[in-house]
């Protein structure tokens, strides 16, 4: 499975997604490893097996094993953190924000890839998962670590296209029965 195979599975009404999937990974503001790591983290967050397999298969051509593992780890840890911190942020009872999370997050301190890259990938997963508190935290971190607003926008563009592709394929599979 490859990204080209994903594009061929998209119906005509999703032509814009097909075109965007072909272009968003060729961004000028991100390095290839930042772009492909973003795609991997977004695919993990999007929770579609076909999309995840295709993205990871193509990402292996651009990422070494340690970087691929770090991108997967960003998707994994944000799967937990985005739920927890979205709850803390949205709960009417603000006492939860004063309580320690008591969740292990060791990967954040030592991700096995450049810290700014891991934060970009965490931002992508947080955007897919809709955690405003995490989006703010990761956007702040990447800007402090030297990333540009264009980098942030490109990460979110990649994440949005991958999530949309996953949603369309899930919907088409549901309709096909």
Output the pLDDT for position 171: 97
Of residues 148, 155, 113, the one with CA closest to residue 27: 155
Output the pLDDT for position 117: 98
Tell whether the torsion through CA atoms of 118, 119, 120 and 124 is positive or negative: positive
**φ, ψ for residue 92, nearest 5 deg:** -65, -30
Output the pLDDT for position 174: 96
Of 131, 142, 155, 166, which residue is the catalytic one?
131
Of 134, 135, 155, 161, which residue is the catalytic one?
134
Task: Establish whether 131 is a catalytic residue.
Answer: yes
**Per-residue model confidence as pLDDT tens for the chain (177 residues):** 799 999 999 999 999 999 999 899 997 799 999 999 999 999 999 999 999 999 999 999 999 999 999 999 999 999 999 999 999 999 999 999 999 999 999 999 999 999 999 999 999 999 999 999 999 999 999 999 999 999 999 999 999 999 999 999 999 999 998
Which structure tokens are listed for 112? 């096995």
Q: Look-up: residue for tokens 């800007």?
A: 143
Output the pLDDT for position 11: 97
End-to-end CA distance of the chain: 21
| DSSP conformational letter for 2 | -
Output the pLDDT for position 177: 87
Output the pLDDT for position 8: 95
Output the pLDDT for position 17: 98
Task: Establish whether 13 is a catalytic residue.
Answer: no
Output the pLDDT for position 22: 86
């Amino acid at each position: 499975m490859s990204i080209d195979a994903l594009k061929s599975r998209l119906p005509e009404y999703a032509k814009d997604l097909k075109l965007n999937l072909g272009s968003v990974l060729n961004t000028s503001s991100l390095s290839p490893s930042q772009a492909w790591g973003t795609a991997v983290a977004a695919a993990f967050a999007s929770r579609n097996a076909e999309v995840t397999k295709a993205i990871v298969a193509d990402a292996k051509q651009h990422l070494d094993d340690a970087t691929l593992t770090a991108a997967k780890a960003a998707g994994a840890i944000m799967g937990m953190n985005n739920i927890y911190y979205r709850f803390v942020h949205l709960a009417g009872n603000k006492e939860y924000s004063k309580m320690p999370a008591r969740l292990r997050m060791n990967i954040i301190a030592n991700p096995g890839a450049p810290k700014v890259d891991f934060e970009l990938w965490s931002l992508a997963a947080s955007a897919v998962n809709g955690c405003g508190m995490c989006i703010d935290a990761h956007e702040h971190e990447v800007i402090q670590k030297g990333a540009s607003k264009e980098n942030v926008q490109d990460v979110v563009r990649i994440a949005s296209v991958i999530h949309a592709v996953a949603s369309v394929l899930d919907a088409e599979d549901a309709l096909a029965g």
